[in-house]
Amino acid sequence: MNAILAKLGIGEVNSGATTGGRNGWLETSGSELVSISPIDGKPIAKVIQASADDYQIVIEKARAAFEKWRMVPAPVRGQVVREIGDILREYKDPLGQLVTLEMGKIMAEGRGEVQEMIDIADFAVGQSRMLYGLAMHSERPRHRMYEQWHPLGIVGVITAYNFPVSVWSWNALIAAVCGDITVWKPSSITPLTAIAVQHIIAPVIDRHGLDGVFNLVIGKGGEVGETMIQDRRIPLISMTGSTAMGIHIAEAVGRRLGRSILELGGNNAIIVAEDADLDMAVRATLFGAVGTAGQRCTTTRRIIVHRAVKPTFVERLVAAYGQVRIGNPLEEGSLMGPVVDGATIESLEKAIAAAKASGGRLLYGGRRITVSGCEGGYYVEPAIMEVQNEYPIVKEETFAPLLYIIECSHIDEAIAKHNDVPQGLSSAIFTKNMHYQEQFLSPIGSDCGIANVNIGTSGAEIGGAFGGEKETGGGRESGSDAWKQYMRRQTTTINWGHELPLAQGIRFDAD
């Protein structure tokens, strides 16, 4: 592992702020942060965090960089992102391993996360030639009207521990082709992966002299994070995290009329209809509920299953859970690694107790386990509970591997239960019935930002817009036209005639 850390530029003690490139690292003067591996509870390395003064240095560099970057033609900006994608390809394995080491997801998922970075880089390169505006027909003769998209400025990117690197890339690489500057504040749980990303892309930054375009500030939420969201020099804050934090950020950014993209909690469900392909439904549920140890925004948290197939479905699911190899995520055979920390195990246990108190029944798991060789790690069995959708705890997002089984007997009831939670990120139905499928996808169907048919709730491709409604925050990141949020729209009307006709036919002549 030490060789991997060295390859990624991680030392015993690391600077927590850079404006990019090999020489962009600051002599940071904030407090010390120790990154702990959830695999064995042991420290990996230290970071000297950014102080308030360090933050100011970074923002000033970012402002200076924007002056130049915004005038680089977008397709040329795209070429820089292409080189970033290329170098990420070279570092897919070591960076994926560091993701595994620092937050505990299994290696296949760690590598998958880096693949998302590569995919969004490719997408952004294409997008750099497609920052299209519309041309409109003016109502006035000899007038031309069109819209164009200009760079917005500095984008603050606040990311969570569960996707410590790909969510940065969704924002930073799209923002970069749009002509923006990013200042990244990663989760304090995963500072090393963020530092590694900066080391990986440093040769590209240096080759093109892009000091200040991709910035990193690791610091306390209460200090650096708070300063960032209040900072009028940052017109857009894109944040992934809890609903409580999202509300705070929406208020702070809204108060200064800034923009925010919020990617908050989910309470994602799969509806299993009576005609569902149960093999597929069980496999999708397993990946959706157990993958990343239940710590994706898109994790399947509820199964709403028709009573005719519920006994078979549950029996097969419990059998599949029994086959899950929980262990050191750095070992290839492991299907589930640790959860990120002890607090996550406690939240799982509390949720199980709360569901039981409401009348729920534990069907599987929920016990702490010890993995030999990883004694200090945070391992727990994934849990399945039979509950009613009405229980208060079921309405909450418990960010842990806990799956609720809810019975239904009609598609209308299933959809009503499906939507009866405060969150609205991802959703799915397993059915071969086109009436059910289309109802689920219609305006009276799923109220989520993502609605899938015969696919689970997690593992979205980068090409679509990613995000959700209600308490999920309404933001959209990644593909589709999410790029528009990183730019400012300008509507332009040009009069190429010699008259001055007014719109709406108004006459305003002095004589």
Chain position carrying tokens 């924007």: 66
165 touches ligand UN1 by CB under 6 A: no
Residue 240 or residue 423: which is nearer to ligand UN1 going by CB?
A: 240
Residue 167 or residue 234: which is nearer to ligand UN1 going by CB?
A: 167
Answer left, alpha or beta for residue 153, where phi above 0 means left and psi between -120 and 50 means alpha: left
Q: E-assigned strands of 277-373?
A: 300-306, 361-364, 368-369
Which residues between 299 and 358 bind ligand UN1 (CB under 6 A)?
none
List the Cα angle 430/431/435 in 5-degree steps: 130
Chain position carrying tokens 């990244």: 184
Residue 163 or residue 379: which is nearer to ligand UN1 going by CB?
A: 163
Which x/- pattern over 87-126 shows residues binding ligand UN1 (rule: CB under 6 A)? -----------------------------x----------
Q: Facing residues of 477 across strands?
A: 466
Residue 209 or residue 463: which is nearer to ligand UN1 going by CB?
A: 463
Amino acid at 322: G
Closest approach, Cβ 477 to ligand UN1, in A, equals 9
Return the residue of 101, 236, 249, 297 that touches ligand UN1, per CB under 6 A: 297
Residue 50 or residue 117: which is nearer to ligand UN1 going by CB?
A: 117
Q: What are phi and psi of 86, to 5 degrees?
A: -65, -45
Closest approach, Cβ 478 to ligand UN1, in A, equals 8
Binding piece for ligand UN1, criterion CB under 6 A, among 229-237, 340-348, 357-365, 455-463: 455-463
Residue 49 or residue 169: which is nearer to ligand UN1 going by CB?
A: 169
Which x/- pattern over 254-293 shows residues binding ligand UN1 (rule: CB under 6 A)? ----------------------------------------
Q: How far apart are CA 309 and CA 182, in angstroms?
A: 49
Residue 167 or residue 181: which is nearer to ligand UN1 going by CB?
A: 167
Q: How far is CA 444 from CA 166, 414, 418, 435, in A?
A: 33, 12, 12, 13
Return the residue of 14, 100, 162, 427 that touches ligand UN1, per CB under 6 A: 162
Closest approach, Cβ 157 to ligand UN1, in A, equals 13
Q: Facing residues of 491 across strands?
A: 147
Return the residue of 61, 77, 105, 296 that touches ligand UN1, per CB under 6 A: 296
Q: How far apart are CA 156 and CA 454, in angstroms?
A: 36
Q: How far apart are CA 101 and CA 330, in angstroms?
A: 7
190 touches ligand UN1 by CB under 6 A: no
470 touches ligand UN1 by CB under 6 A: no
Closest approach, Cβ 349 to ligand UN1, in A, equals 22
Residue 185 or residue 199: which is nearer to ligand UN1 going by CB?
A: 185
Size of the site for ligand UN1 (CB under 6 A): 11
Closest approach, Cβ 458 to ligand UN1, in A, equals 4
Please name which of 10, 46, 2, 49 lies closest in space to residue 26, comparing C-alpha atoms. Answer: 49
Closest approach, Cβ 472 to ligand UN1, in A, equals 11
Closest approach, Cβ 459 to ligand UN1, in A, equals 5
Check: CB of residue 108 under 8 Å from CB of residue 329. no
459 touches ligand UN1 by CB under 6 A: yes
Rg of the chain in Å (alpha carbons): 24
240 touches ligand UN1 by CB under 6 A: yes
163 touches ligand UN1 by CB under 6 A: yes
List the Cα angle 6/378/47 in 5-degree steps: 35
With residue 494 as reference, give the H or E element that holds it: strand 487-495
Return the residue of 100, 260, 285, 298 that touches ligand UN1, per CB under 6 A: 298
Q: Under 8 Å CB-to-CB from 270, ≥6 apart: which residues? A: 281, 284, 285, 288, 300, 302, 303, 304, 427, 428, 429, 430, 456, 457
Return the residue of 305, 405, 460, 482 that touches ligand UN1, per CB under 6 A: 460
Closest approach, Cβ 281 to ligand UN1, in A, equals 18
Return the residue of 238, 458, 472, 485 that touches ligand UN1, per CB under 6 A: 458
Q: Which residues are catalytic?
A: 263, 297
Q: Under 8 Å CB-to-CB from 252, ≥6 apart: which residues? A: 226, 229, 230
Binding piece for ligand UN1, criterion CB under 6 A, among 177-185, 279-287, 354-362, 454-462: 454-462
Closest approach, Cβ 381 to ligand UN1, in A, equals 22
Residue 24 or residue 96: which is nearer to ligand UN1 going by CB?
A: 96
Annotate 205-236 with DSSP letters as a single string: HHHHT-TTTEEEE---IIIIIHHHHH-TT--E
Which residues between 12 and 31 bind ligand UN1 (CB under 6 A)?
none
Exposure pattern of 207-217 as b/e (b: 16+ CB <10 Å)?
A: ebebbbbbbbb
CA dihedral sign, ordered 300, 244, 417, 446: negative
Q: How far apart are CA 13 and CA 27, in angstroms?
A: 12
Q: Which residues of the shown chain bind ligand UN1 in the complex (CB under 6 A)?
A: 116, 162-163, 167, 240, 296-298, 458-460
